[in-house]
Amino acid sequence: MKPILVPHDFTEVGAYALEHAYMIGKTHNNPINVIHIVSKSDEIEAAKAKLQAIVDDFKKDKPNLEIAVEVRKGDIDKEIYNYGIEINALLAVMGTHGTKNLKKAIKIVEKFITIPFVLVQNPPIYGEYDRILIPIDADKSSRIRVQWVRFLNTLFESKVYIISYKDNDGFSRKAIQNTITFAENIFNDNLIDYEIKYLENKKNFSDEMYKYANEAECDLVIFMTDQYKSYIKEIKNPENEELAAKIPVMCVNKRIDIIKTGGFN
């Protein structure tokens, strides 16, 4: 059973990440591997004791939960990546401190081509990721998000909310429609419930996306990693900024194997 990777920085958002990881993995009893990175070798022992205490407290009412603890010295992004590959992680859950920490978080996420990251700033809202929002644009890589929804559906029996827009450019309009048709075929074949909302244009797309997420009570938004920052930066409405901090974001990277085969290796 592949483990769920949780980088922990001894902050509140690190604790939130642990909660989300447990929620994701409890259906199939996935183990959790928690890692903390220090800058000096003489900090390892104390950090490991502190991390173990956090884990022991978290496990008190979860007797069947398996959690491994690891502390390493070095660069945060490099060591987290090395550990994730070593343990062959299913996915990773990491707490972030909002836009001020966005660049650092993305630097870590971008390294994990085959492992998606769920970025959280708050505890789980509804308990499971069973209402998932996907924004669809002209980028063909949007199909990768569709494949990850298929995987998440095996855990939570999710409903999917697709939001897109009508584009004046013929090439982009065709690309969007092809991706949506691809998504419909995948969801219909796998009996995944979904609905689609089209906007008249791309104006204020980020705000409209989170407005829709609020209306649908979505508990997860899936972005391509290279688009996440721009989507968040384009939010203008303060209420949507607050919502973006509450709803977890799953960041996935472009994978050639998925584009070619329509599935995972």
Q: Give per-residue pLDDT as tens, 60-79.
A: 999 889 999 999 999 998 99
pLDDT score, position 94: 94
Enter the DSSP assignment of 3.
P
pTM, rounded to two decimals: 0.87
CATH 3.40.50.620 residue ranges of the chain are: 4-120, 131-261
Question: Sheet containing 4-7: which strands, arranged edge to edge?
Answer: 67-73, 32-38, 4-7, 91-95, 117-120, 249-252, 220-224, 131-135, 159-165, 194-199
Quote the CA–CA distance of 252 and 257 in Å, as a whole number.
14
Contact (CB, 8 A) for 102 and 117: no
CATH code for the domain defined by 4-120: 3.40.50.620
CATH class of the 131-261 domain in this structure: alpha beta
Quote the CA–CA distance of 265 and 257 in Å, as a whole number.
7
Q: Where are the alpha helices (H) located in 26-64, listed in sequence order?
A: 44-58
34-67 pLDDT, tens per residue? Answer: 999 999 999 999 999 999 999 999 999 998 899 9
Question: From residue 254, how far is each of 36, 195, 203, 206, 208 by CA, in Å?
Answer: 27, 24, 25, 21, 25
pLDDT score, position 258: 44
- pLDDT class for 229, splitting at 50, 70, 90? confident
pLDDT score, position 97: 78
153-198 pLDDT, tens per residue? Answer: 888 888 999 999 998 888 889 999 999 999 999 999 999 999 999 9
pLDDT higher than 80, residue 100: no
Mean pLDDT for the stretch of residues 125-134 = 87
